[in-house]
Amino acid sequence: QDNYTIPGDQWQQLNFSKRYNCSDIGTNYYFFNATNYNGTTNTTSIQTFTVTKDNVTFNYIEGHNSTANRTGIQTTLLSFQAKDLNGTNLSSFPIKYSITTNNVTYYTDNNFIVITDSSGYANLSFNATCANDYSGAPKFLVGDQQWKAEVNDTELSCYYNNDTSNFLYRNLTVMG
């Protein structure tokens, strides 16, 4: 509830703005109640508006057609930038990467969840090791593999999921 006092007896235009967060998602209600100096009041009827989840957009940065070597600890950079629909960089925002193991079935791991930096970049240093470095991970087979980024599950109550494989296929080649 916000209260405003306007001095004088002239007409005044008031503009209201409010920043919404996840707890506001859904139907919200408002009304206006005006009282003048003589004690005369006027109240509008209750109106509603809906706050929805926010959208996330991904800008491809790096990693398409790269090579990931399973020999030793050799990493390949996979990178997307995350922004909201207004174009604001999403910093400290979790992005989940997934990579196919057989060019069909995507695999992800807690190690593939990357927190974006202050510019919204989610940089994954992917190690295609054939050892069991990732809990219960199948081996990443030699040859072409696909990779994608999406909004991490922990954010789906506030953001619509956006899976890059729905609009942009990214490849990498596993060798070694």
The rounded percent of the chain whose pLDDT value lies above 90 is 61
The continuous run of DSSP H or E covering 49 comes out as: strand 47-51
Q: Structural domain of residue 144, as residue ranges?
A: 56-175
What average pLDDT does the segment 15-34 reach? 90
Q: pTM score, two decimals?
A: 0.80
Residue 146 lies in a domain: yes
The CATH number of whichever domain residue 95 belongs to comes to 2.60.40.10
**How many structural domains are present in the chain?**
1
Residue 69 lies in a domain: yes
Read off the pLDDT of each residue in 64-83 and give the average, rounded to a whole number.
Answer: 91
Residue 143 belongs to a domain: yes
- State how far the Cα of 135 lies from the Cα of 125, in Å rounded to an integer: 17
**Closest to 156 measured CA to CA, from 81, 54, 50, 60:** 54
User: Are 143 and 38 contacting, i.e. CB atoms less than 8 angstroms apart?
Assistant: no
pLDDT number for residue 137: 61
Question: Would you call 46 exposed, middle or buried from its count of C-beta atoms within 10 A (0-12, 13-18, 19+)?
Answer: exposed
Maximum pairwise Cα distance, the chain: 85
More confident: 8 or 95:
95
* pLDDT score for 134: 60
Q: What is the mean pLDDT of residues 100-128?
A: 94
Asked if the structure places residue 142 within a domain, the reply is: yes
Residue 139 belongs to some domain of the structure: yes
Q: Is residue 1 in a domain?
A: no
Average pLDDT, the chain: 89
9 is a domain residue: no
Q: What is the mean pLDDT of residues 26-48?
A: 90
Q: CA–CA separation, 76 vs 120, rounded Å?
A: 19
Token pair recorded at residue 166: 């729905």
Judge contact between 74 and 173, C-beta under 8 A: no
Q: Does a structural domain hold residue 15?
A: no
